[in-house]
Amino acid sequence: MPKEYSSIVVIICHQTLFLLTGFYQTLAAQYLYYQGAATGTSLLTNTAQYVGMASVGLLLIPSWWANRKGRKSIAYEPTGTTELDFDMEEIKSGKKAQKDYQLLPNADEEILIEDSSMISDKSSKPKESISFRFIAATSCLDVVANFTLTIGFFYVGSGMFQVIYSSVVIWCAVLSFIFLGRKLSLLQSISIIGVCFGLALSALGISKGTESSDQTTPPPVTSTGPAILHSFNMTTTMYGMILTSLATFGYACVYVVNDLLVSNHKANTIPPTPEKACFLVGSGCTFLSLMYIIIYTIPHWNKLVIQEMEKEKKVSDVSTFVIIIIYMVLTMASFIHNLSYYSLMKRIGNVSTGLLNSIRAIVVFGLSHILFCDIDNGQCFNPWKGFSAITVIGFVTIFSISKMRDDRLF
């Protein structure tokens, strides 16, 4: 099989896995919510996905083991001849030792160095630079954004959530323009305005949908949500749309910070690989999520999980075993999703994920209507939602294609 053909097959496989696991992650989280096995404040679905994200670190074991073996072989490798024997051999052969002179800083005398390669070998191999403070800050920002995103997701429903979240590539570009100095073309600027217009249409579509039926999205278990809804006289899905939009912007901040993590480094150092960055950030997020579960979720387990599941069992009786299997598959899907994402980053760049997320938004939007419309009116299709989805996804696609073309030119 030709090398180029096999490379294309690998890319297609990763794209397929990225999309399939993306579909499952969104729809499984929504299904768990409808079964009472996940709420906005329990952080159970988030933790399952973070564990999958941290599991990408398993891919680092072979390279770590190879480096360890390499260091051991160098440490125990016999030197062959002593320094004295080496000097005697050179004298016998009549060859002169190559001598380089180097003036040390703040010194008045010259130091004789037998071989300049001794300096270059040590300095030519840059060390990996990892800022654990940066990792900790990124993990905290990720958990806060994901927490807000989850509450918004359960309020607005998986269909419109995926449409709104597909705009994350746009906000990444805006933040990169502001903080990283990356340029935006006229077409990209128009796409950003178009996405904002599409998001405004989604708000109109949500309000029209709630007016047409009394059946609304059951709200997550949270004390602040009902208070805000009562104060501003807004529907649960409208509140979810606002939360999801804010959290999407927050996640764009996370992506820009991750970009800095894997691109910025000091002189004579290299940044961590995307896989290592994913492992470190995922481990930090897993730790924070587990701490939250220990401190808050477990003490309130009866209210957050048991009572909610018993309430939903009156509608559909799903066994606890099935719920556990769904969570396990969700963790595995998160692992495959992150693995495919970073593999695609290496091969075709991260802009391509904007196009893939557009496809993901269309499919999830349609599947959410088919699977959940009967039990939640917020998931049902209406013309305004359809027009909003076409507008947002269309401008995200235009932006991504424009960005890919610019990257090829430069």
Torsion of CA 74, 80, 86, 89, to 10 degrees: -150
Q: What is the mean pLDDT of residues 354-362?
A: 77
User: Range with the lowest mean pLDDT among 14-23, 136-145, 348-357?
Assistant: 348-357
pLDDT at residue number 351:
58
Dump pLDDT digits (tens) for 292-308: 999 999 999 999 888 88
pLDDT at residue number 23:
93
- pLDDT of 143 over the 90 cut: yes
Dump pLDDT digits (tens) for 158-187: 888 888 888 887 888 888 788 777 777 888
pLDDT at residue number 295:
96
For residues 254 and 196, give the distance between their C-alpha atoms in angstroms, rounded to a whole number.
20
CA atoms within 13 A on the CB side of 35: 19
pLDDT at residue number 273:
79
User: Range with the lowest mean pLDDT among 94-103, 168-177, 382-391?
Assistant: 94-103
For residues 372 and 160, give the distance between their C-alpha atoms in angstroms, rounded to a whole number.
12
- Quote the pTM value: 0.74
For residues 137 and 257, give the distance between their C-alpha atoms in angstroms, rounded to a whole number.
9
What pLDDT band is residue 3 in, cutting at 50, 70 and 90? low
Q: How far is CA 400 from CA 3, 64, 172, 187, in A?
A: 27, 35, 12, 10
Domain residue limits, the chain:
3-62+132-409
CA atoms within 13 A on the CB side of 329: 17
CA atoms within 13 A on the CB side of 156: 33
Dump pLDDT digits (tens) for 188-226: 888 888 888 887 777 666 655 555 554 444 545 444 444
For residues 11 and 92, give the distance between their C-alpha atoms in angstroms, rounded to a whole number.
60
In this structure, the strands spanning 100-103 and 110-113 are: antiparallel
Name the average pLDDT for the chain.
Answer: 76
Structure tokens at 197: 């217009």
What pLDDT band is residue 109 in, cutting at 50, 70 and 90? very low
Dump pLDDT digits (tens) for 252-290: 888 788 777 777 666 777 878 778 888 999 999 999 999
Share of residues in the chain with pLDDT > 70 (%)? 70
pLDDT at residue number 45:
93
For residues 311 and 303, give the distance between their C-alpha atoms in angstroms, rounded to a whole number.
11
For residues 310 and 305, give the distance between their C-alpha atoms in angstroms, rounded to a whole number.
9
CB atoms inside a 10 Å sphere around CB 256: 19
pLDDT at residue number 324:
94
Q: Is the pLDDT higher at 358 or at 226? A: 358
End-to-end CA distance of the chain: 32
What pLDDT band is residue 314 in, cutting at 50, 70 and 90? low
Highest mean pLDDT among 7-21, 86-100, 376-390: 7-21
Helical packing angle, 274-292 and 44-54, nearest 10°: 150
Q: Is the pLDDT higher at 353 or at 180? A: 180
